[in-house]
Amino acid sequence: IKVKFPMQIFVLARVYTAVINFLYSMIAFALMICVFRVIPSPALLFLPVIVFLLVIFALGISYILATAYVFFGDVKHLYSVVLTLWLYMSAIFYPVQQLPDFLQKIIGCNPIFNYIDSMRCLVLYRALPPTAEIMKIILWAVGSYLIGYTIFWIAIGILAGLFIQDLFWSIVLILGLLL
């Protein structure tokens, strides 16, 4: 018996598992807030929006990685190296203000830094992130998702044996719908 299901299930399952793990962490975070009697700021109500945008961004990156992994087996090994480099380029362990201006600009282009900095604004500084930063994370989320899903969809078409001409017209149709 063959069961057909959408290929997106693999990517969605991985991302949603990470979201569930994050929610468990948020329970621990809420308990710590209660234990230390910290009064949450109203800005913290914006946290689900940032998390939602981060999940959309992660879905886009996951679609790209899933596609790359099918065609290039070494992606698994390169992924851990790139992820470590990305971690250190995200200003998690150090304040970005201590860096020279040109490095601050480079790190400011890192999408993960924008999400982290937005979370810092909400949790540590008890304020909403700047509007420019919110716009950046929205653009990163939407852009990542659209590019990732398009690449994933094209790869499914290639693996299904679609002709290049059909693939071309499908891409034109998608771009026409997006515009």
Task: Please report the sign of the dihedral spanned by the C-alpha atoms of residue 122, residue 124, residue 126, residue 130.
Answer: negative
Q: What pLDDT, on the 0 to 100 scale, is given for residue 169?
A: 62
pLDDT of residue 163 exceeding 70, the answer is no
Give 162's pLDDT tier (boundaries 50, 70, 90).
low
Q: What pLDDT, on the 0 to 100 scale, is given for residue 60?
A: 96
Name which of 25-39, 57-71, 130-144, 163-177 the model is least confident about.
Answer: 163-177
- State pLDDT tens for residues 68-93: 888 887 888 888 899 998 888 888 88
Distances (CA, A) of 125 to 20, 77, 80, 165: 26, 37, 32, 53
- State pLDDT tens for residues 40-67: 899 999 999 999 999 999 999 999 999 8
Distances (CA, A) of 165 to 69, 95, 152, 171, 173: 25, 51, 18, 10, 12
Q: What is the mean pLDDT of residues 29-42?
A: 91
pTM of the model: 0.84
Q: What is the mean pLDDT of residues 170-179?
A: 67
- State pLDDT tens for residues 86-138: 888 888 888 888 999 999 999 999 999 999 999 999 998 999 999 999 999 99
DSSP conformation class of 179: -
